[in-house]
Amino acid sequence: MSKMRTVLLAGASLLVSAGAAIAQSAATLPQISDNYFVTGQEALLAHLAQQPNVNRAKNIILFVGDGFSVSTLTAARIYDGQTRGVDGESNALTIDLLPYSAFSRTYSHDGQVSDSAPTATAMVSGIKTNNGVIGVDYTVTQGDCAAQQGHSVTTIFELAETAGLSTGVISTARITHATPAATYAHTANRDWEADYQVPADAVGCTDIAAQLVDWPAGNGFEVILGGGRDRFFPNTLADTEDTTAMGRRTDGRNLVEEWLGDSNSSAYVWNAAQLEALDLANTTRLFGLFERDHMEYELDRARDAAGEPSLAEMTTAAIEVLEQNGNGFILMVEGGRIDHAHHAGNAARALADTVAFDQAIRAAMASVDLNETLIVVTADHGHTLTINGYPGRGNPILGLAADSTGLLLGADEKPYTTLSYANGPGAIPGERPDLTNVDTTSIDYLQPALVPIGSETHSGEDVGIFAQGPYAHLFSGVVEQNYIYHVMAFASQIPARAAAASLALAQ
């Protein structure tokens, strides 16, 4: 009998014994038939049956929900259930079903509360750095072009290209925005997305869009999907969708045309119909820019052919292209507009985009072999969203807090919402408004906030990491955010494979 079979049989025997022990220990308890008690036992048995996967990760998919705080997860779970007509509180998102989890400390080198640039850099490069910079170490401060020289760090995406893997990046934000940019860019200022945004005296510093197309790693990205079209086209060229608008580049470069080259298997698309019509099995390189700026919020996204694909649709298309490489792939998928809705103090759109993010995770898991694909789901930082008061079970998550007796009132005898923000545009100076006849479930409603501020801020609390696949069990406890890189690197052995490939090339 093989050693592996012996281990499996022993594990099965232990599980049967554990099940019997659990049943015996509960046999005389009055709550033994209680539904909550039974589901608790079932959850324990499921965890006991769980075995760590120690295969080498052929593929890695890093899902980043921008601004995806724990309170956002809870509220989105309830929102999703209530939207589908089921119990929201006990509802389970795909994220909830991932077997391993940890907490990530999101502070940056110079910030108690971070922005997306250093946090994304931490996840893909393994180091902490300063707010406002991407792909450089903490000796570089925002806007200091001279300091940037010689202080770039190498990302796991660059290593993957060297090792012969395929690479992809997807975002519902501009593809040059901080989180997706961290996979490929090295810049002293996250705002230098196009050439017109780089100061004239920043000699030697290249804009982020140009860095994407000129990326020297391997043969470059195989898949790029997101928003931010105007950063890639010259200001002499009309936009393909909004012909009254022009590109914004002042250097005359058409970066999409440059990226496509003369390859017959490379494709560029800018709407859902074009993406759907592609023969992805015969497409080796795919570039999609679906909006001049950020892509639409999920609640505003047109579902017709001329509209934008969903995050799930982009994810499955990307996987179909990337999996053509027998060496494997690494893909980042960002739900970028969760963050933007929170900044606007608009919980409805934030929660809907979180559900769309979860659907992309589900679609990816259905498209890959989870025995050889490491799935990591996390956030770069949180937001100030809170779930509060004492609303009854099943109360609309976007509604006024209420229980079986009716609306719950503050000391001022006015109702309040279950969701609110610590700061943001929903704050109204002066006396608190009476919300009795206000439709707080409207998608345009801005949740109340304490501190009036034009754009709600990030928060500094830990965020979740949820994982499945090879070495996912290494995510446990409270870890530094840059630890995510080190798990992905170890699970895939990408750095070692890149080093071996470089050595072979040198010889």
- Chain CA centroid to CA 155, Å: 17
Res. 16 pLDDT band, cuts 50 70 90 = low
Q: Supply the pLDDT for residue 2.
A: 46
pLDDT at 19 over 70: no
Q: Give the Cα-Cα-Cα angle 239, 189, 69 (nearest 5 degrees).
A: 85
The mean per-residue pLDDT over the stretch 311-340 comes to 98
pLDDT > 70? residue 10: no
CATH of 59-384+457-506, one of 3.90.660.10, 3.10.129.10, 3.40.720.10, 3.40.1390.20: 3.40.720.10
Which of 108, 114, 116, 492 is the catalytic position?
116
Alpha-carbon distance of 214 to 209, in angstroms, equals 9
Residue positions counted in the chain: 507
Per the model's pLDDT, the better-predicted residue between 480 and 2 turns out to be 480
Q: How far apart are CA 287 and CA 397, in angstroms?
A: 38
| pTM of the predicted model over 0.75 | yes
Q: For 459, list phi and psi in degrees, rounded to 5.
A: -120, 165
pLDDT, tens digit (0-9, with 9 covering 90-100), for 398-452: 999 999 999 999 999 999 999 999 999 999 988 999 999 999 999 999 999 999 9
Mean pLDDT of the chain: 94
Residue 327, phi then psi, degrees to nearest 5: -80, -15
Where is pLDDT greater, at 398 or 305?
Answer: 398
In the residue annotation, 367 being an active-site residue is answered as: no
Pull the structure tokens for residue 498: 């890149």
Residue range 100-118, pLDDT digits in tens: 999 999 999 999 999 999 9
Residue 24 pLDDT grade (very low, low, confident, very high; cuts 50, 70, 90): low
**What are the beta bridge partners of residue 330?**
60, 167
Instruction: Please report the pLDDT score of residue 6 as a whole number.
Output: 43
Q: Are 103 and 477 in contact (CB under 8 A)?
A: yes
CA atoms of 316 and 144, how far apart (whole Å): 39
Give the pLDDT confidence score for residue 303 in this predicted structure: 85
Alpha helices in 219-346 (DSSP H): 255-260, 272-277, 311-322, 337-343
Q: Give the residue-averaged pLDDT of 231-243.
A: 96
Between 131 and 21, the higher pLDDT residue: 131
pLDDT digits (tens, 9 = 90+) for 190-222: 999 999 999 999 999 999 999 999 999 999 999
- pLDDT of 506: 83
Give dist(CA 267, CA 278) in Å, integer. 8
